[in-house]
Structure 1
Amino acid sequence: MPRRVVPALIVLLAALLVAAPARAEPPQRLASQVTDASGWIENRAPVDDALGELQDKTGLQLWVVLVDSFDGTPAQSWTDETARLSDLGDRDALLAIAVEDRAYAYSFPADSRLSDQELAEVAEKRIEPALAAGDWSGAVVAAAQGYQDAASSGSGLIWAVLVVGLIVVAGLAWVLLRRRHRRAAPQEPAGPSLADLSGRANALLVELDDELRASERELELATAQYGQDATAPFRAALDEARANVGEAFQLRMTLDERPTPDERAKLIRIIELCETADKRLDAESDAFDRLRDLEGRAAEVAGEVDRRRAAIEAALPAAEATVHDLQTRFSGGALTAIAGNAGQARERLAFAADAVRQAREALASGGKAEAALAVRGAEQAVDQAAHLVEAVERAAAELPAARSAADGLLAEVTAETAAGRAALTGGGEVPPGLAAAVAGGEQVLAEVRAALAGPRPDPVGAVARLQAADAALDAALAAARDAAERGARARSMLAQALPVARAEVLAANDFITTRRGAVDYGARAALSEAQRHLALAESLAASDPAAALSEAQQAQQLAARAGQAARVDVQGWSGGGYGRAGGFDAGAFAGAVLGGILAGGGGHGRGHGGFTGGFGGSGHRSGGGGRRGGGGRF
Structure 2
Amino acid sequence: MTRISRFAALLVLAAGLLLPGVAWAQAPERLAGQVTDQAGVLEDRAAVDDALGKLQADTGIQLFVVLVDSFDGTPAQDWTDETARLSDLGDRDALLAVATGDRAYAYSFPDDSRLTDSELSDVAANDIEPALAKSDWSAAVIAAAQGYHKAAGAGSSLTWVVVLILLVIVVALGWVFVRRRRAARSTAPAPAQPARPSLAELTDQANALLIELDDDLRASERELELAAGQYGAAAAGPFRAALDASRQDVAEAFRLRMTLDEVPAPDEATRRRTLAQIIERCQAADARLDAESEAFDRLRDLEGHAAEVADELDRRRAALEAALPAATTTIQDLLARYAGSAVTAITANVDQARERLTFAASALTQARTDLAAAASPQAPETPSGDPAAVPGGDRAEAALAVRAAEQAVDQADQLIAAVNRAATDLPAARVAADALIAEVTAEIAAARAVLNGGGTVPAGLAAAVSGGEQAVAEVRAGLAAAQPDPVAAVARLQAADAALDDALDAARDTAERDARARSLLAQALPVARGEVAAANDFITTRRGAVDAGARASLSEAQRHLALAESLAASNPGAALTEAQQAQQLAASAGRVARTDVQSWGGGGGGGYGRPGGGFDAGSFAGAVLGGILSGAARSGHGGGGGSWGGGGFGGSASRGRRTGGGGGGVGGGRRGGGGRF
What are the within-5 Å matches in structure 2 for residues 266-305 of structure 1? 266-305=274-313
Alignment match, 2:637: 604
CA contact (8 A) 2:12 2:26 kept: no
Asked if the contact 1:313–1:346 (Cα under 8 Å) also holds between the matched residues in 2, the reply is yes
Counterpart contact for 2:550–2:592, Cα < 8 Å:
yes
User: For the structure 1 residues 362 and 209, does the alpha-carbon distance in structure 2 shift closer, same or farther, using more than 3 Å as the test?
Assistant: same
Aligned counterpart in structure 2 of residue 497 of structure 1, from 514, 521, 524: 524
Deviations 1:291-349 (A, max 9, x none): 11001111111101111000000000000010001000000010011111000000000
What is the Cα deviation at residue 19 of structure 1? 2.2
Deviates more, 1:345-354 or 1:602-611: 602-611
Q: Which residue of 2 aligns with 1:259?
A: 266
Who is 2:364 aligned against?
Answer: 356
Q: Which residue, 506, 531, 548 being the options, matches 1:521?
A: 548
Instruction: Give 1:593's aligned residue.
Output: 624
Determine the C-alpha separation between the residues in 2 that align with 1:355 and 1:208: 25
Q: CA 1:244–1:84 in structure 2 vs 1: closer, same or farther (change >3 Å)?
A: farther
Is the 2:6–2:400 Cα contact (8 Å) retained in structure 1? no
CA–CA separation in structure 2 for the residues paired with 1:274 and 1:10: 28
Aligned to 2:492: 465
SS of alignment partner, residue 303 of structure 2: coil
Residues in 2 aligned to 1:353 and 1:609: alpha-carbon distance in whole angstroms: 24
The counterpart of 1:209, out of the listed 206, 211, 214, is 214
Q: Which residue of 2 aligns with 1:319?
A: 327
Q: 1:247 aligns with which of 249, 252, 255?
A: 252
Match of 1:387 in 2: 414
Contact 1:537 1:549 survives alignment (8 Å): yes
Report the CA distance shift for 1:434/1:266 in structure 2 as closer, same or farther (over 3 A).
Answer: same
Distance in 1, matches of 2:80 and 2:344, equals 34
For 2:313 and 2:337, how far apart are their aligned partners in 1? 35
CA distance in 1, matches of 2:488, 2:444: 20
Partner in structure 1 of residue 89 of structure 2: none
Contact 2:356 2:408 in 1 (8 A): yes
Question: Cα–Cα, structure 1 residues 478 and 187, in superposed 2: closer, same or farther, change >3 Å?
Answer: farther
Are the equivalent residues in 2 in contact too, given 1:11–1:29 (CA < 8 A)?
A: no
Indicate how the Cα distance of structure 1 residues 85 and 406 shifts in structure 2: closer, same or farther if over 3 A, else same.
farther
Instruction: Give SS of 1:263's match.
Output: helix
Alpha-carbon separation, structure 2, partners of 1:471 and 1:88: 62
**1:619 alignment partner AA:** A
For 1:39-63, what per-residue CA distance to the aligned partner results, in whole angstroms no more than 9, with x for missing partners?
Answer: xxxxxxxxxxxxxxxxxxxxxxxxx
State the one-letter code of the partner of 2:245: E
Alignment of 1:172-187 (within 5 A): none
Aligned 1:526-541 pairs, distance under 5 A:
526-541=553-568
Amino acid at match of 2:653: G
Residue 4 of structure 1, CA deviation: 4.0
Q: Distance in 1 between the 2:610 and 2:489 partners?
A: 35
Q: Which amino acid aligns with 1:228?
A: A
Deviation at 1:611, TM superposition (A): 4.4
Distance 1:191 1:622, change over 3 A: farther
Q: Deviations over 1:186-211 (max 9, x none)?
A: 99654111100000000010010000
Distance 1:538 1:386 in 2: 27
By how many angstroms is 1:498 displaced?
A: 1.0
8 Å CA contact retained: 1:409, 1:467: yes
CA distance in 2 between partners of 1:28 and 1:588 (Å): 20
- Determine if the alignment matches structure 1 residue 486 to structure 2 residue 513: yes
Partner deviation per Cα, 1:489-532 (whole Å, 9 max, x = no partner): 11111111111111111111111000000000000000000111
The verdict on how the C-alpha distance between 1:8 and 1:403 changes in structure 2, with shifts beyond 3 A counting, is closer
C-alpha displacement at 1:84, in angstroms? 12
Segment drifting more, 380-389 vs 479-488: 479-488
* Structure 1 SS opposite 2:416: helix
Q: Is the 8 A contact 2:15 2:620 kept in 1?
A: no
Do the aligned residues in 2 keep the contact of 1:438 with 1:473 (CA within 8 Å)? yes
Q: How far off its partner does 1:566 sit?
A: 0.6
SS in 2 for 1:365: helix
- Asked if 1 retains the 8 angstrom alpha-carbon contact of 2:307 and 2:368, the reply is yes
2:437–2:472 contact (8 Å) kept in structure 1: yes
Contact 2:5 2:28 in 1 (8 A): no
Q: Aligned partners of 1:425, 1:88: CA distance in 2, in Å?
A: 83
Q: Could you tell me which residue of structure 2 aligns to residue 569 of structure 1?
A: 596
The percentage of aligned residue pairs carrying the same residue is 66
Structure 1 counterpart SS, 2:483: coil
CA contact (8 A) 1:376 1:611 kept: no
Number of residue pairs matched by the alignment: 487
Give the conservation status (yes or no) of the 8 Å contact 1:3–1:615: no
- Secondary structure of the corresponding residue to residue 260 of structure 2: helix
Change beyond 3 A, Cα 1:522–1:24: farther
- 3-state SS of the aligned residue for 2:627? coil
Q: Aligned partners of 1:25, 1:471: CA distance in 2, in Å?
A: 61
Aligned to 2:13: 13
Structure 2 stretches lacking a partner, 5+ long: 30-69, 86-185, 375-393, 660-677
How far apart in 1 are the matches of 2:599 and 2:523?
Answer: 34
Cα distance in 1, alignment partners of residues 10 and 398 from structure 2: 12
Secondary structure of 2:634's counterpart equals coil
Contact between 1:281 and 1:614, CA under 8 Å: does it hold in 2? Answer: no
Q: Which residue of 2 aligns with 1:306?
A: 314
Q: List aligned pairs for 1:108-123, cutoff 5 A.
A: none
Q: Deviations over 1:227-246 (max 9, x none)?
A: 10000000001001101101
Q: Normalized against structure 2, the TM-score is what?
A: 0.68
1:318–1:504 CA distance, 2 compared to 1 (3 A): same
Match of residue 582 from structure 1: 610
Letter in 1 for 2:296: F
- Take 1:85 and 1:239, find their aligned partners in 2: how far apart are those partners? 38
CA distance in 1, matches of 2:557, 2:202: 25
Cα deviation digits, residues 46-83 of structure 1 (max 9, x gap): xxxxxxxxxxxxxxxxxxxxx9x99xxxxxxx99xx98
Alignment of 1:153-232 (within 5 A): 189-232=194-237
Which letter maps to 1:477?
A: L
Q: Which runs of 5+ in 1 are unaligned?
A: 31-66, 71-77, 90-178, 625-634
When the two chains are superposed, the root-mean-square deviation of aligned CA atoms in Å is 3.0
2:84 and 2:563 map into 1 onto residues whose CA distance is 45
Q: Which amino acid aligns with 2:639?
A: R
Distance 2:448 2:192 in 1: 65
Out of 463, 474, 495, the position equivalent to 1:447 is: 474
Q: Is the 8 A contact 2:216 2:650 kept in 1?
A: no
Is this contact kept in 2: 1:316–1:389, CA < 8 A? Answer: yes
Which amino acid counterpart does residue 234 of structure 2 have in structure 1? D
The C-alpha deviation readout for 1:9-29, integer Å capped at 9, x for no partner, is 235433443225x35888944
Q: In the alignment, is the contact (CA less than 8 A) between 2:564 and 2:575 conserved in 1? A: yes
Which amino acid is 1:251 matched to? L
**Contact 1:28-1:85 within 8 A present in 2 as well:** no
Distance in 2, Cα, partners of 1:8 & 1:487: 57
Secondary structure class of the residue paired with 1:338: coil
Q: Does 1:346 align with 2:351?
A: no
Residues 1:401 and 1:84: Cα distance change in structure 2 (over 3 Å): farther
Q: Deviations over 1:379-437 (max 9, x none)?
A: 00000000000000011111111111111111111111122223223221111121221
TM, length-normalised to structure 1: 0.72
